[in-house]
Each structure stands twice: as C-alpha cells, then as structure tokens.
Amino acid sequence: AIDLTFRQARKQLQDGDIAVAVNTAETAWDRLPEPKFNWDVSKSYAIALAAIYRDAKQYDRGLALLQDLFSSGTVKSYQDRPYFIMGTIYYEMGDMINAKKWLGEADKISKGRCFREEPEKYRKFLMEK
C-alpha cells in the first residue's frame, strides 16, 4: 500500500498537482511505523519522499529528511542513493559546492552507476571542472 501511494504521488507530481503530490507522499511516509528508519524499506521510502520534496521545490524539507536518515546511522558505506538524492537537492537549490560534494560521493561509491536513468545534467555538472 505504501509503494502504491508513493507511485500515486509521483504521478500527481508529473501531472502538476504539486501540493496534492506532497500530501500523498507524506501520507505514504506516515504509514511507515516508528521508528521510521529501522525498517528494511526505510531508505527507499525516505529517498522517494525526499525526491518528491526536491521536485516540488521544497528543498529544506528534503534536506532535513535526508539528514535524519544519515543521522539514524542506517546508511551503509556502499549505499550511494541517499548521497545522490542529497546532491540533486543541492543542485536544484543552486548550491553547487554541496551538490558537487554529495554527487561526487555518490559517484565514488557507485563507480558512476548512480547516474543511470537519471537526468544527464547531474553527471555533466559533476564532470565539469
């Protein structure tokens, strides 16, 4: 049910229903029992919600959620996705220093795989000098 709700939120966002999409995504996140970051799906749901926040231009909320995820101590050294999403939020905010830092870390962890099926602008930005 949580997966379906996040998919619904993504579709709403694509259709331009930004406020509804954010509300739907938050409803999905709220369905995950406490403690939020102790479940096997916690990272994927936190990342899904952070990406919705990014695309809805609610950058502070996305950053806060990902900072909570990192603070939880559950992000493993081989998991690039939280770093990548953090980098994309900073990129969209226009904070290129932090964008380069986080995207660079994701690139290092994933050996470039983090850019697959993602907008080319993130990879191009990181490759710029």
Say yes or no to pLDDT of 129 above 80.
no
Are 53 and 62 in contact by the 8 Å Cβ rule? The answer is yes
pLDDT tens figures, 49-103: 999 999 999 999 999 999 999 999 999 999 999 999 999 999 999 999 999 999 9
The reported pLDDT for the residue numbered 11 is: 97
Q: What is the mean pLDDT of residues 105-127?
A: 95
Say which residues have a Cβ less than 8 Å from residue 59's Cβ, sequence separation at least 6: 53, 89, 92, 93
Say yes or no to pLDDT of 40 above 90.
no
The reported pLDDT for the residue numbered 109 is: 97
